[in-house]
Amino acid sequence: MDFGSILSAALSSALGPQAIVFALAAIGLNIHFGYTGLLNFGQAGFMAVGAYGLAVTVVTYDQSFWLGVVVALVAPVVLALVLGVPTLRLRADYLAIATIATAEILRLVFGAVETREVFGGSNGLTGFAKTFQDLNPYSGPLDLGIIRFRPDDLWSLTVGWILVALGCLFVWLLMRSPWGRVLRSIREDEDAVRSLGKNVFAYKMQALILGGVFGGLAGLFFAVKQASVVPSDYSTNITFYAYTALLIGGAARVLGPVVGAMIFWFLMAGIGAFFSQATAGSDPLIPTWAMSDIQASLVRLILVGLGLMLLMIYRPQGIFGDRKELAIDAR
Amino acid sequence: MPADTTPTTDPLAGVANTPGVKKPDAILVGSSITRQFGGLKAVDVEHVEIQRGVITALIGPNGAGKTTLFNLLTGFDAPDTGEWSFNGQSLQKVPAYKVARRGMVRTFQLTKVLSRLTVIENMRLGATGQRGERFWSAPFRALWSGQEDSITERADELLARFKLDAKREDFAGSLSGGQRKLLEMARSLMVDPELIMLDEPMAGVNPALKQSLLGHVKSLRDEGRTVLFVEHDMDMVRDISDWVIVMAQGKIVAEGTPDQVMSDQAVIDAYLGAHHDTDITELDETELEQATEAELDQEA
Ligand SMILES: Nc1ncnc2c1ncn2[C@@H]1O[C@H](COP(=O)(O)OP(=O)(O)OP(=O)(O)O)[C@@H](O)[C@H]1O
Ligand SMILES: [Mg+2]
C-alpha cells in the first residue's frame, strides 16, 4: 500500500481541473439554489451548451476561438430564458422538472446520429482549443514533490482558478448588495417580496441567467481543458455531483461551492486510489472474493454517498454553513 | 409621503350606512368583484368604496371572504369578474408588485417574515426605488451605500416605534408570533404606502402591546395614510375605526360607523346566528375572543 501515491492522487484531483469544473458549476447552483431557492436540476445542460457553444462555433462553423467563447457565454443566457419564461411564474417544482428534462434532451440531441454534421455525434468534437494551448506561457512542469502538473495542465489550472476566484469575488459583491438581499428574500417567501413592490419574476430570471452562465463557464473550461466535447460528459449525475459539492461546502456561502468541490474530488480520487491499490496485484489487501478490482472503482461512489448522508445528519449546514441559520424553521 | 392632515371635521359625516355606499373622497373603488372557488362564491361584492385618510375596518365571520377580497384587490389573486381602481387608476390585471409600487401595500393574515434574514434586513427590503437592487449597480457599493444608510436610518426609527429595536440583529425566524405581526407591519411601512391593508394585525399580540399598536395605527391616519384592516377584535374595531364594512358569505352586508354597525340587525345575524337577541356590544367578549383564537389556531 503506497499512501504517498493515494495522497498524491487525492491532492491533484482536489487542486486539478475536475475541481475547477465543479467549483464553477456549483457556484452557479449556489446562486440558483443557495441564494434564490431555485431548483435547477439541469446544470449539466448549461454546461453542455457552454461547451458545445465553443466547439460548434470553432469546428463546425469555422469561426475564431474568441467568437466561440462569446457564443459559449451567450448560449446559457438563451437557455435560461427558454427555461425561465414559462416556469418561473409557476411553483418551484416546475423549474426542477423542466431543467432536468431539458438537460437530458440537450445531451441526446448533441449525441444523436441525425445531428452529427453539427455536433459530431457520440464522438463529439475536437480541435478547437489550439488558440488556448498556444497561449500557454509555461514550458516546464510544476513539481511540488507530492504532486506534479504538466505544463498544459498548469496553464489550465492557472486560468481555471483565476476564473473561480473572480467568480467568487463577483458573487460576494452581488450578495452583499441590496440585489442579493432581494434574492435571499425570494428564497424565504416570494409573496412577501411581491407585497413590497419587487418584481419577483425578473429577479428569479436574473438569478437563473447568472447561475446558468457560471454553468456555461464550467462547460467552457471543461471543453478547453480536455480539448474535446463528448455528449456523455454532460449527463445528469454531473448536476448531482455539483449539488453534492455545494452541500458539502455549505449553500449560500460564497466559498462553499469551491471548498466543497475540492473536498468532493479529494475524497473521490483518494478513496478511488485506495481501493484500486487494495484490490490490485496478485495478493491484494482485500481478497478477490470480497471485492474485485471492477467493484472497487464503484465503491468510492458508495462511500461518498455514505459520507454525504453522515454530513447531512451531523453537519447539515455544510462546512461553512451556519447551524443557527439552518435551525430556523421557515414558518 | 401624503400630506399631513389631521381630520378636523369627520369626512364621513352624512354618508348613509347602506352597503356599497359612495364616499366623498374614495381612494379605492371596486365594482361587481366576484371570485368563485369550485361551487363556493367566496367573494361577491357589488360595490365598495374606501374613504381616503380614514381608518376603515373590514369585519365578518370566518370564511366571509375578507382575506380573499384583500388578495383580489392587491393582485395576489385574480377575480372572475369585476373592476377596481386605486386613486382613479384601474388595477385590473396589474401584478401584485406594481400594486404595491402604486402605494397600496398589504400584510398577510398568516405572517410572511423572511426567516433567515435579520430583522433589520427584513426592514431594508421594504424600501422602494433602491439603486442597489439593480443588477448592474449592485456590485459597486459606492453607488448605493449612501441610499442604504438613509434606508437603515428610517428602518431603525420604525423598529424603535414598534419596539423591535432590541431584535434588530436577530433572524426574523426567531421572533414570536406577535413580534412577526409587528415586523410585517413595520416592514410594509418601509414602502411608504398611501393605503395600508392589514389582515388581522392584532392576532396574537399581547394586550399591553395592543394598546400601543392601536396608537400606531391611529398615527398612520394622522400621517395622512389610509388604513383598511381586517379584525375580529371588536374592541379594536370600536376603538380606532372611523368606518366599518361588514362582510358575510362574500357579500357586503352592512356599512357604517362602528356604533351604527354594531347595533345593526344584519351584522348581528351574520356574526352571531344563535345569539339572535344579544347586542354585539354586550356579547361576552372573552367568549368571542376564545372562538376566534380557536379558529386561528386551527388555521395555523
Ligand atoms: N385558495 C382557495 N381555494 C378554495 N377555497 C378558498 C381558497 N381561499 C379561500 N377559500 C374559501 O373562501 C372562503 C373565504 O375565505 P377567506 O380566507 O377570504 O375568509 P376570511 O373572511 O378571511 O376568514 P377568516 O376571518 O377566517 O380569516 C372560505 O370559505 C374559504 O374556504
Ligand atoms: Mg382571513
How far apart (Å, rounded) are the C-alpha atoms in residues B95 and B100? 9
Out of A39-43, A209-213, B208-212, which region has the weakest mean confidence (pLDDT)? B208-212
**Closest-CA residue to A41 (of A209, A216, A235):** A235
Q: What is the mean pLDDT of residues B119-125?
A: 96
Q: At residue B96, does pLDDT exceed 50?
A: yes
Which residues sit opposite B252 in a β-bridge?
B247
How far apart (Å, rounded) are the C-alpha atoms in residues A109 and B133? 38
Q: Which long-range contacts (CB under 8 A, 24 or more apart) does A147-153 make?
A: A147/A8, A147/A11, A147/A12, A147/A15, A148/A12, A149/A12, A149/A16, A153/A16, A153/A17
Q: What is the mean pLDDT of residues A222-227?
A: 95
Which residues sit opposite B86 in a β-bridge?
B28, B89
Of the bound ligands, which one is closest to the alpha carbon of residue B58?
1
**Chain-wide mean pLDDT for chain B?**
87
Write down the number of H helices and E strands in chain B.
Answer: 10, 10
Q: What pTM value is reported for the model?
A: 0.90
pLDDT of residue B278: 47
For residue A235, give every residue at least 6 positions away whose Cβ sits within 8 Å of its Cβ, in sequence order, or none.
Answer: A44, A107
- Whether A45 and A99 have beta carbons less than 8 Å apart is answered as yes
Q: Which of residues 164-183 of A touch B (CB under 8 A)?
A: 170, 173-174, 176-182
How far apart (Å, rounded) are the C-alpha atoms in residues A213 and A280? 42
Q: At residue B74, does pLDDT exceed 80?
A: yes
Residue type at A300 in one-letter notation: R
Q: Is the dihedral of CA A59, A62, A67, A71 positive or negative?
A: negative
* pLDDT per residue as tens digits for the range B230-270: 998 888 888 899 999 999 899 999 899 988 888 877 777 77
B60 close to ligand 1 (CB < 6 Angstrom)? yes
Consecutive H or E run containing B40:
strand B40-51
Three-state secondary-structure class, residue B138: coil
Contacts of A181 in chain B (CB under 8 A): 117, 121, 124-125, 133
Per the CB < 8 Å rule, is A195 touching B171?
no
- A317 band by pLDDT with thresholds 50, 70 and 90: confident
Out of A209-223, B32-46, B200-214, which region has the weakest mean confidence (pLDDT)? B200-214
Out of A288-302, B21-35, B286-300, which region has the weakest mean confidence (pLDDT)? B286-300
pLDDT of residue A298: 83
Counting every residue, how long is chain B?
300
DSSP letter at B118 equals B
pLDDT of residue A71: 97
- Cell for A58? 470553432
Q: At residue B281, does pLDDT exceed 50?
A: yes
> Half-sphere exposure of residue A65, counting CA atoms within 13 Å on the CB side?
15
Which residues sit opposite B230 in a β-bridge?
B58, B199
- The residue ranking higher by pLDDT, A180 or B300, is A180
Q: At residue A1, does pLDDT exceed 80?
A: no
A130 Cβ under 8 Å from any chain B Cβ: no
Q: What are phi and psi of B37, to 5 degrees?
A: -115, 105
B41 close to ligand 1 (CB < 6 Angstrom)? no
B143 Cβ under 8 Å from any chain A Cβ: no
pLDDT of residue A277: 86
Domain total in chain A: 1
Q: What is the mean pLDDT of residues B62-87?
A: 94
* pLDDT per residue as tens digits for the range B215-235: 888 989 999 999 999 998 888
pLDDT of residue B177: 86
The full DSSP string for A128-197 is --HHHHHT----S-EE-SS-EE-HHHHHHHHHHHHHHHHHHHHHHHHHTSHHHHHHHHHHH-HHHHHHTT
pLDDT of residue B275: 46
pLDDT of residue B1: 46
How far apart (Å, rounded) are the C-alpha atoms in residues A246 and A264? 9
User: From the alpha carbon of B200, which atom of ligand 1 is closest?
Assistant: 27
Q: At residue B58, does pLDDT exceed 80?
A: yes
Which residues have C-beta under 5 Å from ligand 2, the single-atom ion? B 66-67, 109
DSSP letter at A322 equals -
- Whether A238 and A25 have beta carbons less than 8 Å apart is answered as yes
Out of A9-13, A256-260, B91-95, B282-286, which region has the weakest mean confidence (pLDDT)? B282-286
Q: What is the mean pLDDT of residues A57-68?
A: 96
- Cell for B100? 404595491
- Whether A254 and A176 have beta carbons less than 8 Å apart is answered as no
Per the CB < 8 Å rule, is B173 touching A329?
yes
In chain A the first and final C-alpha atoms are separated, in Å, by 53
Which of A181, A324, A325 comes nearest B124 by C-beta?
A181
* pLDDT per residue as tens digits for the range A65-76: 999 999 999 999
Q: Measured in angstroms, how far is the CA atom of residue B111 from the centroid of ligand 2?
A: 12
The full DSSP string for A104-119 is HHHHHHHH-STTHHHH
> Which residue, chain included where needed, has cell 367578549?
B285
For residue B164, give every residue at least 6 positions away whose Cβ sits within 8 Å of its Cβ, in sequence order, or none.
Answer: B119, B179, B182, B183, B186
Q: In CATH, what number is assigned to the domain containing residue A145? A: 1.10.3470
Q: How far is B139 from chain A (nearest CA, A)?
A: 5
pLDDT of residue B210: 84
Q: At residue B32, does pLDDT exceed 70?
A: yes
**Closest-CA residue to A217 (of A54, A106, A62):** A54
The CB density around residue B36, as the number of other CB atoms within 10 Å, is: 14
Per the CB < 8 Å rule, is A197 touching B97?
yes
Q: At residue A263, does pLDDT exceed 90?
A: yes
pLDDT of residue B276: 44
Q: What is the mean pLDDT of residues A78-103?
A: 93
The ipTM of this complex is 0.88
pLDDT of residue A179: 97
Contacts of B135 in chain A (CB under 8 A): 174, 179, 206
Helices A236-249, A293-314: axis angle to 10 degrees equals 40
pLDDT of residue A275: 87
* pLDDT per residue as tens digits for the range B146-169: 999 999 999 999 999 888 999 999
How far apart (Å, rounded) are the C-alpha atoms in residues B50 and B54? 9
Extended beta strands in B76-192, E state: 81-86, 89-90, 104-106
pLDDT of residue B267: 77
- Give residue A29's domain range: 3-330
How far apart (Å, rounded) are the C-alpha atoms in residues B265 and B256? 13
- B214 band by pLDDT with thresholds 50, 70 and 90: confident
B65 close to ligand 1 (CB < 6 Angstrom)? yes
pLDDT of residue A331: 45
